[in-house]
Amino acid sequence: MIRRVALIGLGTMGPGIAARLSRGGLSVCAYDVSEAAVERARGMLPVAGDVLDRLGIAVPSSGEGGVRFAASIAEAVKGADLVIENVPENIDVKAETYRAIDPLVGPEVIVASDTSGIPITKLQAHISHPERMVGMHWSNPPHIIPMIEVIGGERTAPETVAAIRDLIRSIGLLPVVVKKDVPGFVENRVLYALLREAVDLVERGVIDAEDLDTCVSWGIGYKIAAIGPMALLDMAGLDIYKSVSSFLNADLSNRADISPLVLEKAAAGKLGIKSGEGMFSYTPERIAALQKERAGKLVAIRRILEGRE
Ligand SMILES: NC(=O)C1=CN([C@@H]2O[C@H](COP(=O)(O)OP(=O)(O)OC[C@H]3O[C@@H](n4cnc5c(N)ncnc54)[C@H](O)[C@@H]3O)[C@@H](O)[C@H]2O)C=CC1
Ligand SMILES: Cc1ncc(C(=O)O)c(C(=O)O)c1O
């Protein structure tokens, strides 16, 4: 039974994951190489806790759960049943992290990666018990989005996939088991198909960035939360999809490299909210207001989709 979780990496994803696991009654020991990341995570926990309150996810009455911060990776993984790796999306950084964890944990400990899409088969080459390694891909913001992809690599034991699926379910979240270890799994293959086309349309001057967001959020986005893509095909009619895709598919962006617009901005340090500028510009006040507004909307939508309002 999984009760104690070590969480390695407290950047964008870590604090929300820690808060949600703790609400599920799991005891979390978190670690980051960066002191600043740990301090930021400490500050994020009550904010995420407030959102979880509004989602109606109660603090366990048993007194279980809780998040503490470790001073070393060894302290973090000591006594853990599950280690969740949340370090940057770079195979070398992840491999180095597994090398550090490997001698510190027994063969019964599951090592899960929150990778956005590096195949688990590649990651498990860097660990001495590959049968205990699994993908556990959360979606951002992880304390609010209930769906988590579970991915086994070529050498993952089916029992490991089942254990993570059951854990996710046991804390009231929604596991989706991906049957093949393809790059990007499912969520990001679909998201990156959309993002490639969106960036291309803005880059070619077909539409401004603000209007692109209005079009997608109030058109496809609003609809797709209630009606998934496969159900949408049936709602529109496969005859319509056949006619439109007969001329449109060939015209969609099929670029295999990274768009020049994104490369240019990234090279100039324009990374989005984390740097104050990306596709749009942000002041610190605007970031705080946006985060509050977005959490409020996501909570309200989720409550409606769950039939609670
Ligand atoms: N940002 C997003 O929207 C999502 C990201 N992911 C994935 O989750 C993982 C983490 O992503 P983010 O939180 O966005 O990254 P991030 O770059 O914001 O945070 C990574 C953290 O890991 C720390 N770190 C680096 N090496 C470490 C080590 N050896 N030991 C302990 N800590 C270490 C860094 O100091 C940093 O605080 C990546 O694999 C990413 O692809 C998954 C879902 C969504
Ligand atoms: C741009 C982008 N890339 C990756 C992810 C992920 O799920 O890994 C997300 C996300 O929203 O979670 C994302 O927005």
Please name the residue whose Cα sits nearest to atom 14 of ligand 1. Answer: 12
Alpha carbon 271 to its chain centroid, in Å, reads 18
Q: Is 140 annotated as a binding residue?
A: yes
- The answer to the question of whether 50 is labelled as a binding residue is no
Sheet holding 110-113, edge to edge: 67-69, 27-31, 4-8, 82-85, 110-113, 133-137, 147-152, 174-178
Mutate to test the pocket of ligand 1, among 86, 150, 274 (most ligand atoms within 8 A of CB): 86
Interatomic CA distance for residues 241 and 233, integer angstroms: 7
Q: pTM of the prediction?
A: 0.96
Q: Is residue 117 annotated as involved in ligand binding?
A: no
CA atoms of 114 and 88, how far apart (whole Å): 10
Residue the block writes with tokens 């990776």? 73
To 5 degrees, how large is the angle CA 279–CA 280–CA 285?
A: 145
- Ligand 1 binding residues, C-beta < 6 A: 8-14, 31-34, 37, 86-89, 93, 97, 114-116, 138, 140
- The token pair at 303 is 């409550």
Q: In the structure, which protein residues have their CB atom closer than 6 angstroms to any atom of ligand 2?
A: 116, 139-140, 187-188
Q: Is 223 marked within a binding site? A: no
Angle at which helices 260-267 and 187-203 cross, to 10°: 90
Cα–Cα distance between 53 and 41 in angstroms, integer? Answer: 18
Residue 43: pLDDT band (50, 70, 90) is very high
Pocket probe for ligand 2: among 12, 17, 85, 139, the residue whose CB has the most ligand atoms within 8 Å is: 139
- Please give the CATH architecture assigned to the domain spanning 4-178: 3-Layer(aba) Sandwich (3.40)
Tens of pLDDT along 191-215? 999 999 999 999 999 999 999 999 9
Per-residue pLDDT of 214-270, as tens digits, reads 999 999 999 999 999 999 999 999 999 999 999 999 999 999 999 999 999 999 999
Backbone angles phi, psi at 76, to 5 degrees: -65, -45
Say if residue 11 carries a ligand binding annotation. Answer: yes
Ligand nearest to the CA of 41: 1
ipTM, two decimals? 0.98
Tens digits of residue pLDDT in 60-104 = 988 899 999 999 999 999 999 999 999 999 999 999 999 999 999
Give the position, in ligand 2's atom list, of the atom nearest the Cα of 115: 8
Structural domain spans, the chain = 4-178
